[in-house]
C-alpha cells in the first residue's frame, strides 16, 4: 500500500519539494558557515568564535533539515524502486552517478554525526557562551580549527552530492 501511495504523482511532487528544500537549506547553511568560519576574520568580519556561536544556534534547524532530506530521500527511493534495499544503478536511481550521490550523502550524514559529537562538543565545553575566551586558549584554538575544517569537509561533500545528482539527472 505504501508503495502505491508513494507512486502517486502529487505525493512524489510534494515529497520531492520537501526533500529538496530541506537539502538546500541544510547544505546552503553548511556551505555558508564553512566559508564564514574560514574567511570572515581574514577579511575584517566577525571573529571565527562568533561565527561558530551563530552556527551552534542553528543546530536544531540543521538537524531537522538533515532528517527531512534523509528520510525524504529514502521514501522517494522506495516509491521509485519499490524496495528500500535495492540500490542498483538503474534509470530510477539516476544511474551510477545517482548511486554515488546517495553514497556521498550517506557519508555526509555520518560525517555530520562526527561533527556534532567529536568536533563541536569539545568546542561547546571549552567555550560554552561562544565568546572566544577560555581558560586554555590553545585548546580553544585547536577546537575552533577542528570545527572549521570539518565544516569545510561537510561543505565539499554537499557540493559533490549536488554535482553527482545533476550528472545523474542527465
Whole-number percent of the chain with pLDDT over 70: 95
Name residues whose C-beta falls within 8 Å of residue 39's C-beta, 6 or more positions apart in sequence.
45
Apex CA 48: angle with CA 161 and CA 21, to 5°?
Answer: 30
Helix intervals (H) in the chain: 2-5, 9-39, 48-57, 59-81, 95-114, 121-126, 137-169
pLDDT of res. 134: 80
Three-point CA angle 50, 53, 57, nearest 5°: 140
Check: CB of residue 105 under 8 Å from CB of residue 31. Answer: no
Question: Tens digit of pLDDT for each residue in 38-72?
Answer: 999 889 999 998 999 999 999 999 999 999 999 98
How far, in Å, CA of 149 to CA of 142, rounded?
Answer: 10
Longest dimension (CA), the chain: 59
Can you give the pTM of this predicted structure? Answer: 0.88
Which of the four pLDDT bands, split at 50, 70 and 90, describes residue 80? confident
Name the more confident of 114 and 133: 114
30 pLDDT higher than 90: yes
Amino acid at each position: 500500500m505504501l508503495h502505491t501511495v508513494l507512486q502517486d504523482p502529487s505525493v512524489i511532487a510534494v515529497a520531492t519539494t520537501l526533500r529538496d528544500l530541506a537539502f538546500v537549506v541544510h547544505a546552503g547553511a553548511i556551505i555558508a558557515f564553512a566559508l564564514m568560519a574560514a574567511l570572515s576574520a581574514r577579511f575584517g568580519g566577525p571573529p571565527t568564535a562568533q561565527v561558530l556561536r551563530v552556527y551552534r544556534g542553528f543546530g536544531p534547524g540543521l538537524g531537522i533539515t538533515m532528517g527531512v532530506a534523509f528520510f525524504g530521500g529514502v521514501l522517494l527511493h522506495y516509491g521509485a524502486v519499490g524496495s528500500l534495499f535495492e540500490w542498483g544503478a538503474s534509470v530510477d536511481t539516476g544511474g551510477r552517478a545517482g548511486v554515488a550521490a546517495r553514497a556521498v550523502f550517506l557519508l555526509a550524514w555520518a560525517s555530520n554525526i562526527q561533527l556534532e559529537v567529536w568536533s563541536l562538543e569539545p568546542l561547546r565545553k571549552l567555550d560554552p557562551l561562544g565568546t572566544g575566551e577560555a581558560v586554555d586558549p590553545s585548546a580553544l584554538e585547536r577546537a575552533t580549527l577542528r570545527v572549521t575544517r570539518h565544516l569545510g569537509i561537510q561543505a565539499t561533500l554537499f557540493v559533490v552530492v549536488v554535482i553527482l545528482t545533476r550528472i545523474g539527472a542527465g
